[in-house]
């Protein structure tokens, strides 16, 4: 039978990026080798600080072109003290690629890859247990992309003013709400949608609240989707005090989503665990959906080069890539099960193999080796 070939653009990036991506690409290659129906072709490109060093810019044309033509993109992380916060920054490449590919929906699940990690949550076990929400963060508008003025602090007489404009329009909010509703309806029973804003202060938030409400009422009337609104400041408190209250789909704008998703990541154990998908359309699984997949953490300069970074967030991102961009649900589930078994201490047969951020002693490669070993039995 002719086998289908999928192109995956791999962007290792900076710091621990290449270390965690290496483990995830081993997983993808293994999935490819085990199948006679499809092949995954992986090609790496410079991105972020690595690309500033090699090409003078964080998103070189060759990298962008490869990402545009690929079926999916796997990214590590970008940034680091070497490039600082100067004029040309690795992070600009990330913002540019999100915009160029119109990756408007960033999906960040705060789910427990293994219940046995509860013991490692910074929250009390009884507070963290049962937490199950997915943060959906609007990714191509808001403060990140509005008009910006840098302060001029060096010219005598300058008032040193700086600003970042937050802009949203109706269509921006409609499309992200549809995606949130789609993911809510994939759960049985449908998940509650919790929209988070600052409508008591911001005009963009009042637009957000009204358009979210109207989109759900008008387009999902027969589905009886439950919708709630929270103000971002108290929601950040509830997330730590009683996170189960936010169980469901958290729908929010770019900056609030950035902050809340890092906050949420520690509930299941540590920042290094959580995957993300940045999508430009609904992930129906029926047709290929272009996406960029990356762990939610950064380049972790404090531990880079030591081989101790937790690769789980990147491996679980690769699983989302298989499911949503390539429609390979069975393979995605196998990768997730393999990760669970490697981390688990409660299951019969779980290995409890964990990196230092989860209180373990294993290195990134050791975790990758074990995931491959277990995966081999599942495919």
Residues that bind ligand IPM (CB under 6 A): 79, 91, 94, 258, 296
Decide if residue 138 touches Mn ion (CB under 5 A): no
Give the shortest CB-263-to-Mn ion separation in angstroms. Answer: 10
Q: Which of residues 351-370 bind ligand NAD (CB under 6 A)?
A: 357
Give the shortest CB-83-to-ligand IPM separation in angstroms. Answer: 12
Decide if residue 258 touches Mn ion (CB under 5 A): yes
Report the alpha-carbon distance of residue 183 to residue 107 in Å, rounded. 10
Q: Which is nearer to Mn ion, 6 or 133 (CB)?
A: 133
Whether 258 sits among the annotated catalytic residues: the reply is yes
Selection from ligand IPM, Mn ion, ligand NAD, none that 357 binds (CB < 5 to 8 A by kind) is ligand NAD
Decide if residue 78 touches ligand NAD (CB under 6 A): yes
Q: Please tell me whether residue 146 adopts helix, strand or coil conformation.
A: coil
Q: What's the number of CA atoms in the CB half-sphere (13 Å) around residue 263?
A: 19
Q: Which is nearer to Mn ion, 227 or 309 (CB)?
A: 309
What would the two tokens of residue 116 be?
A: 């046995």
Q: Which is nearer to ligand IPM, 98 or 340 (CB)?
A: 98
- Buried b vs exposed e over 342-354: b needs ≥16 C-beta within 10 Å? bbbeeeeebbbbb
User: What does 174-228 look like in DSSP terms, one character per residue?
Assistant: HHHHHHHHHHHHTSSSPPPEEEEE-TTT-HHHHHHHHHHHHHHHHHSGGGT--EE
Contact 191, 248 (CB under 8 A): yes
Q: Is the peptide bond before 298 cis (omega within 30 degrees of 0)?
A: no
Decide if residue 77 touches ligand NAD (CB under 6 A): yes
What would the two tokens of residue 51 be?
A: 């690309």
Contact 343, 354 (CB under 8 A): yes
Decide if residue 61 touches ligand NAD (CB under 6 A): no
Give the shortest CB-290-to-Mn ion separation in angstroms. Answer: 21
Question: H or E stretch including 276?
Answer: strand 275-279
Residues 6+ apart with CB under 8 A from 154: none
Whether 198 sits among the annotated catalytic residues: the reply is yes
Decide if residue 294 touches Mn ion (CB under 5 A): no
Q: Please tell me whether residue 111 adopts helix, strand or coil conformation.
A: coil
Decide if residue 91 touches ligand NAD (CB under 6 A): yes
E strand residue ranges, 131-177: 133-138, 148-149, 163-164
Decide if residue 357 touches Mn ion (CB under 5 A): no
Q: Which is nearer to ligand IPM, 23 or 106 (CB)?
A: 106
* Identified catalytic residue from 262, 347, 351, 365: 262
Residues 6+ apart with CB under 8 A from 352: 116, 343, 344, 345, 360
Selection from Mn ion, ligand IPM, ligand NAD, none that 20 binds (CB < 5 to 8 A by kind) is ligand NAD
Report the alpha-carbon distance of residue 26 to residue 23 in Å, rounded. 5
* Identified catalytic residue from 198, 290, 341, 370: 198
Selection from ligand IPM, Mn ion, ligand NAD, none that 131 binds (CB < 5 to 8 A by kind) is none
Whether 147 sits among the annotated catalytic residues: the reply is no
Instruction: Report in angstroms the alpha-carbon separations of 259 from 9, 136, 196, 301.
Output: 27, 12, 12, 20
Give the shortest CB-362-to-ligand NAD separation in angstroms. Answer: 11
Give the shortest CB-261-to-Mn ion separation in angstroms. Answer: 7
Which residues here bind ligand NAD, judged by CB under 6 A? 16, 20, 77-80, 91, 94, 271-272, 294, 297-303, 309-310, 313, 357
Residues with catalytic function: 144, 198, 233, 258, 262
Which residues here bind Mn ion, judged by CB under 5 A? 258
């Amino acid at each position: 039978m002719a086998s289908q070939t999928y192109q995956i653009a791999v962007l290792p990036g900076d710091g621990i990026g290449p270390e965690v991506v290496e483990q995830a690409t081993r997983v993808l290659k293994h999935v490819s080798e085990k199948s006679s129906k499809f092949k995954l072709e992986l090609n790496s490109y410079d991105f972020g600080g690595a690309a500033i060093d090699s090409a003078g810019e964080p998103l070189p044309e060759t990298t962008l072109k490869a990402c545009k033509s690929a079926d999916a993109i796997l990214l590590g992380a970008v940034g680091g003290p070497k490039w600082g916060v100067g004029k040309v920054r690795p992070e600009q490449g990330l913002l540019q690629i999100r915009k160029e590919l119109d990756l408007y929906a960033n999906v960040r699940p705060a789910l427990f890859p293994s219940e046995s990690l509860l013991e490692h949550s910074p929250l009390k076990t009884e507070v963290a247990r049962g937490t199950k929400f997915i943060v959906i963060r609007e990714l191509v508008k808001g403060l990140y992309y509005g008009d910006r003025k840098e302060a001029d602090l060096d010219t005598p007489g300058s008032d040193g003013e700086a600003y970042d404009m937050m802009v949203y329009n109706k269509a921006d909010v409609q499309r992200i709400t549809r995606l949130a509703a789609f993911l809510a309806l994939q759960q049985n029973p449908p998940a509650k949608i919790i929209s988070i804003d600052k409508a008591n202060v911001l005009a963009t938030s009042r637009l957000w609240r009204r358009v979210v409400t109207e989109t759900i009422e008008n387009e999902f009337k027969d589905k009886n989707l439950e919708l709630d609104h929270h103000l971002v400041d108290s929601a950040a408190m509830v997330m730590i005090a009683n996170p189960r209250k936010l169980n469901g789909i958290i729908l929010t704008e770019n900056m609030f989503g950035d902050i809340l998703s890092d906050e949420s990541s520690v509930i299941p154990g540590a920042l290094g665990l959580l995957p993300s998908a940045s999508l430009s359309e609904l992930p129906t699984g029926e047709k290929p959906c272009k996406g960029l997949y990356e762990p939610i953490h950064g380049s972790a300069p404090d531990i880079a080069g030591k081989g101790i970074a937790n690769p789980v967030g990147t491996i679980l991102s690769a699983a989302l890539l298989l499911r949503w961009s390539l429609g390979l649900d069975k393979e995605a589930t196998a990768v997730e099960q393999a990760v669970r078994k490697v981390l688990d201490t409660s299951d019969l047969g779980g290995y409890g193999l964990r990196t230092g951020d989860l209180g373990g002693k294993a290195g990134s490669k050791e975790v990758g080796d074990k995931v491959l070993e277990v995966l081999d039995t599942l495919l």
